[in-house]
A and B are shown apart, each in its own frame.
Chain A
Amino acid sequence: MKNRRSDHLPVRLGTNRIYILPTKTGTAYAILLVVLLLISINYTNPPGYLLTFLLTGIALVGIFHTHRGLSGLLISQGPASPVFAGDRAKFPVTVTNPSPWARYGIQVGWSRVETGPLKDVPVTGEQTFRPSLPAANRGELRPKRVVVATVFPLGLFRAWSWVALPLHCMVYPAPAPRASLLDQHNASPDQGEERPRTGNPLEGEEYHGLRAYQPGDPLRRIAWKAVARGSELVSKEFGSAANQEAIVLDWDRLANEEIEARLSRLCRLVLDAEASGRAYSLQIPGKRIPTGSGPRQMRACLTALALFAMPDAQTLNEAPR
């Protein structure tokens, strides 16, 4: 199978790229037809011949029906949400049906034999499939292609097509367990501006007051009561004066640990820091994320962790064969 990296999106399933072969059930059906034919011949039974040939006709017509189930479909993809290593990465694949007949029992998976959930694509409608892959390691998961398949209407033949989509999913390092992380991190003495803290960064925070909403503020920090009174969007500010200072998450403070373990810890720290609502920056060899907060900051930090020491054009986790 040649690499179809060059497919334009959305990919149209033309006749030349749809393959069709009998399934195991189809093979059994062929054996059934032979048995029926032999009985009909042996007993020179005309209605038996009729039945045998009717069933042959059904199978023949069924080939075309199955083929037609895929022909002309448009395949495109949506952005895959990042996952942590160890989770399953889900890749949204949208199947659009431009034709005036419905498509039944469509599957999207990774290999010819793999069976995903069956879904119908209505007339001139679309349907999103979420085939998933186990994301074992951090990095970027790039399956080369998906298989769009159907066995409808009889299950005797399977039509399928390989579709090369630029699928990718960021896999963050698996976050280390929650306990004692910031402790350890902050226990390292007199480094940076950070003050020693205990416990969950969210605990012990004090309400400071309101300030104007800034993009990136967590939703739960918005003062909804104030908003309800008709004011502008305002966010609540928490934390002690000391906590107002930005956290620096530094690779070097986690010395004596193996690389992946450090990344896991830093991942946990990023999550906690984000949850604490304070600004934070990340410092890893070869990369520095300046101070900031909010989902974008978190994503930037986690992506940096995920891609740490990864070769540029590496494709990970080729689809399981």
Chain B
Amino acid sequence: MMLRTPRTLLHDPHGPWLWILGPAFLAALPHFARYPLWIGVICVGMWILRLWATQHPALMPSRTIRFALTLGCIGGVYLSFGYLLGPEPGTALLLLLLALKPFEAQGRRDQVLILFMAYLLVLLQFLHSQSMLVAGYMTLVVLVITAALVGVAHPASQTDPRFRLRQAGVLLLQALPVMLILFVLFPRLPGSLWGLFQAPRTGLTGLSDTMSPGDISELLQSSEVVFRVAFVDQPPAVSRMYWRALVLWETDGRTWRVGEPEGEPRQWRVRPRGEPVEYVLTMEAHDQRWLPVLEMPLAEGWARQEGVSVDALPDVSPETIPGSEADTPGIMAEELALASDFLLEVREELRRRARFQLQAALEFETDAPTSGEHLRALELPLSGNERARELARSWATTAMDERTVVDRALHFFRDETFDYTLRPPLLGEEAVDDFLFRTRSGYCEHYASAFTFLMRAAGIPARVVVGYQGGDRNPLGDYFVIRQYHAHAWSEVWLEETGWTRVDPTTVLAPERIDVGAGALVPNIDMPRVLSSREMGWVISAWRGLTQGWDAANTLWNQWVLDFGFERQRRFLERFGLAGTTRLERFGHLVLALSLSFVAAALIYGVIQLRSRPPEDALDKTYARFCRRLAKIGIPRFPQEGPRDYALRAAGLRPDLAEPITAIGEGYIQLRYGESPRPGRDIPGASSPEVQQRELTRMVRAFRPRRA
């Protein structure tokens, strides 16, 4: 039978394993996209084999085969990654372990272990993408894993996924308050903790002073905030935001390096044309000295502002930028220094967040390079990449001027079938030739590298600039967030007329990247083409509303989840007078968080208990109130006393109250034990028990006896 309903799939013998391997598969799915194909193939293959083996035990691999497979997997990971200790190969090994584990899983405990590893996989995915989309998917995965965990404790519901999902859903919903309390109160650390598992040169550390193919696309996986910028006046267009961090001069044809300049770094000057742009940059700690500055920084811009406090600035208050609270030094002019190549740098490695007020010129003229710089900007390895050199020389010999050569190169990129991809194929020894004539697909560093190489081969002084491009505008705070995925590389060429001129060869290929920034590439939500007709206007506006809603949700997610770190937590807690500065106080937060979350869980439980208690009888409640009121004036009801005796005794003790006491007592007896209303005797106008009861309630409410 090929067609089987999912229900029957959940029956024995595969059912129990499907409940374990299904959640594992869902948790592993996003990882497969990131890793070499063979890992996903092995995982899925092994899991299918395991399900099969429930019916054909002969398929179970022997101990020897399993051992060989394990060794093979470790070897494969080493070959694919080049090292074993680190989050990346570690995750790959975990995936493979998860593929092999089912074959030696004996009982319940091993199955639970697989589910725990699935939870771990969910977390590891967050190291790579923290978008709301991923978080939403992972919430579902956590629900399914939890449902499977419920199944381990309740095997009878094997064929009833709704039961398990409902149980898990209830648990998840009730866990939300606990999660929020812990999330808000759990003490955060400023910056990363210990570099124990940190991979060598992983994307999270940001740009480095070398650039090889693949370096920047690695950064694209990370949404870690690098810096934030608030403009004093109108912000420039996003496509003009080129944040220069490092200038790379030397190459071996594949990797670019900053290199060692000869002699002292030269003082430079940028002559602005038009109004300079003034902005405040809040840099996250990155343990480096480079500072990404808007092209081109004005050397006197920061110096002029020396000694001016942030509060004196007209439009940029410290509140505008998250994480820039009072104790962060506003101006750090004395800590800034001119670096070569129109760059600024910090005097010491930046180990904490810092703010700088800077000025930039978007239209500018620069000094001519010195002869030494001129030579360095033309330097190429002695040999290699001959086809590229030849191509460049052919352009140079036929072109009128340098500008034409630049245009020809850009035309070459646009007209030939060059692709823009985040997953470029690997390049061989002759990296530039390989890229230009064989693979023809790559990310910005491929283009910047190849373009600069071509320019130098054509005799035009050129260099590579790495930094960031664009920024995510935060509409709530009116500032821009620049994250690791904005990392970019481009070229600067020396032209007689304009001085050092930025050329971004990537723009000819993928203009949308420059217009909206790389952030939009990551969770890409484009309007479907089908909907673009005019009749569908309302659909389009609805779609717009949706995307705007999505955007707003994303902003909230960014603000309240992704940016909720050390500083943000402190500012948030300060509002409640909980700001802890000493370690002891922060430890207090932890205790507070844990006890509060336990209280929250208990409260939730209490609410459930109350709700599930059978509703108290309204009549009894009313009568109990009557008894309480009598007890208050000294006539408590004895445990053995019936309502009639009680009423008689009370009326005898307090003749003044006899009338209401008798009426209430009779009314209660009638409602509780009477068969049907007896008109004329009891409560006047009594018809239905409901009316009687309402009347009784009213009487009891009005019954306010005082001590005699």
B135 contacts across to A, CB distance below 8 A = 47, 50
Interface of B is mostly: helix
A53-B179 in contact given A61-B601, A155-B153 (Cβ < 8 Å): yes
Interface range on chain B: under 10, 10 to 19, 20 to 34, or 35 or more?
A: 35 or more
Tell me if B597 is interfacial: C-beta within 8 Å of chain A: yes
Given contacts A152-B153, A153-B171, contact A60 B130 (CB under 8 A): no
Q: Check: A204 CB closer than 8 A to any chain B CB.
A: no
Inter-chain CA distance A41–B177, complex, in Å, is 21
A48 touches B123 (CB 8 A): yes
Residues of B close to A29: CB separation below 8 A? 116
B156 in the interface (beta carbon within 8 A): yes
Q: Across the interface, do B614 and A57 meet the contact criterion of CB distance under 8 Å?
A: no
B123 touches A51 (CB 8 A): yes
Q: Is A62 an interface residue (CB 8 A)?
A: yes
> With a CB–CB cut-off of 8 A, which chain B residues contact A19?
none
B189 at the interface (CB under 8 A from A): yes
- Encode contact with B along A138-170: 1 for CB under 8 Å, 0 otherwise: 000000000000011111000000000000000
The answer to whether A42 touches B194, judged by C-beta atoms less than 8 angstroms apart, is: yes
A100-125 contacts to B, CB under 8 A, are: 100-101, 104-105, 118, 120
Q: Which residue of the partner chain A has the closest CB to B198?
A: A42
Known contacts A43-B127, A56-B179; is-contact A51 B153 (Cβ 8 Å): no
Query: What string of 1s and 0s marks CB contacts (under 8 Å) between B105-131 and chain A?
Result: 000010011001001101110110010
CB of A204 to closest CB in B, whole Å? 52
A118 adjacent to B156 (CB under 8 Å): yes
On whether the beta carbons of B179 and A57 are closer than 8 Å, the reply is yes
Complex contact A36–B154 (CB within 8 A): no
- Please name all residues of chain A whose beta carbon is closer than 8 Å to the beta carbon of B127 when the two chains form the complex: 39, 43, 45, 48
Q: Is the interface of A mostly helix, strand, loop or mixed?
A: helix
Check B602 against A64 for contact (C-beta < 8 Å).
yes
Cβ contact within 8 Å between A63 and B154: no
Contact between chains at B565 and A36 (CB < 8 Å):
no
Chain A, residue nearest B178 (CB): A57
Is there a chain A Cβ closer than 8 Å to B48's Cβ?
no
A105 to B156, CA, bound (A): 8
Contact A28 B113 (CB under 8 A): yes
**Set A35, A48, A53: member contacting B178, Cβ < 8 A:** A53
Q: Is the CB of B597 within 8 A of A105?
A: no
Contact between chains at A61 and B171 (CB < 8 Å): yes
CB nearest neighbor in B for A115: B108
Whole-angstrom distance between the Cβ of B107 and the nearest chain A Cβ: 11
Tell whether A48 pairs with B149 under 8 Å between CB atoms, given A36-B119, A68-B605, A101-B612. no
A309 at the interface (CB under 8 A from B): no
A175 and B288 alpha carbons, distance in the complex (Å): 90
Q: Are the C-beta atoms of A58 and B119 separated by less than 8 Å?
A: no
Instruction: Tell me if A191 counts as interface (CB < 8 A to partner B).
Output: no
C-beta contact mask, B185-217 vs A, less than 8 Å → 1, else 0?
010110111101100000010000000000000
B153 and A63 contacting across the interface, CB-CB below 8 Å: no
Q: Is the CB of B120 within 8 A of A36?
A: yes
A104 to B166, CA, bound (A): 13
A177 within 8 A of B: no
- Once A24-B109, A25-B109, A43-B204 are accepted as A-B contacts, the answer to whether A153 and B150 lie under 8 Å apart by CB is yes
> Closest CB of chain B to A6's CB: distance in Å?
23
CA distance A99 to B601 in the complex (A): 21
Contact in complex: B598, A42 (CB < 8 Å): no
B60 on the A face (CB < 8 A): no
**Interface residue? A9 (CB, 8 A):** no
Chain A nearest Cβ from B376, distance in angstroms: 39
Residue of B nearest to A62 (CB): B171
Q: Which residues of A contact B587 (CB under 8 A)?
A: none
Chain A interface size, under 10 / 10 to 19 / 20 to 34 / 35 or more:
35 or more
**B663 interface residue (CB < 8 Å to A):** no
- Separation of A42 and B202 alpha carbons in the complex (Å): 14
> Given the complex of chains A and B, what is the CA–CA distance between A120 and B153 in angstroms?
12
Q: Are B176 and A57 in contact (CB under 8 A)?
A: yes
A294 to B624, CA, bound (A): 58
B109 with A63: CB separation less than 8 A: no
Once the chains are docked, how many angstroms separate the CA of A28 from the CA of B194? 25
User: Which residues of the partner chain A approach B188 to less than 8 Å between Cβ atoms?
Assistant: 44
A105 to chain B, nearest CB (A): 5
* Residues of A with C-beta under 8 A to B346: none
A99, B612: Cβ atoms closer than 8 Å:
yes
> What B residues does A55 contact at CB under 8 A?
119, 142, 175
State the CA gap A99–B614 with chains docked (Å). Answer: 8
B contact residues around A155 at 8 Å (CB): 112, 149, 152-153
Query: Does B382 interact with chain A (Cβ within 8 Å)?
Result: no
> Is B561 in the interface zone, CB < 8 Å from A?
yes
Contact B612 A42 (CB under 8 A): no
Q: How far is the CB of B553 from chain A (nearest CB, A)?
A: 15
| Residue B328 is within 8 A (CB to CB) of chain A in the complex | no
Considering the chains assembled together, what is the distance between the CA atoms of A81 and B408 in angstroms?
99
Residue B174 lies at the interface, judged by CB distance under 8 Å to chain A: yes
Bound CA span A309–B582, Å: 77
Does chain B have a CB within 8 A of A212? no
Q: Is the CB of A47 within 8 A of B130?
A: yes
B183 CB–A CB distance under 8 Å: yes
Q: Which 9 A-B pairs have the closest CB atoms?
A: A57-B175, A57-B178, A155-B153, A64-B605, A53-B182, A60-B601, A47-B126, A53-B179, A61-B174
Q: Which A positions have Cβ atoms within 8 angstroms of B? A: 24-25, 28-29, 32, 35-36, 39-58, 60-65, 67-68, 99-101, 104-105, 118, 120, 151-155
Q: Could you write out 28 A-B pairs with CB less than 8 Å apart? A: A25-B109, A25-B112, A28-B113, A39-B127, A42-B192, A45-B127, A48-B123, A48-B126, A48-B127, A51-B126, A54-B142, A55-B119, A56-B597, A57-B175, A57-B182, A62-B171, A64-B601, A64-B605, A65-B171, A67-B605, A68-B609, A100-B614, A105-B153, A105-B156, A152-B153, A154-B146, A154-B149, A155-B112
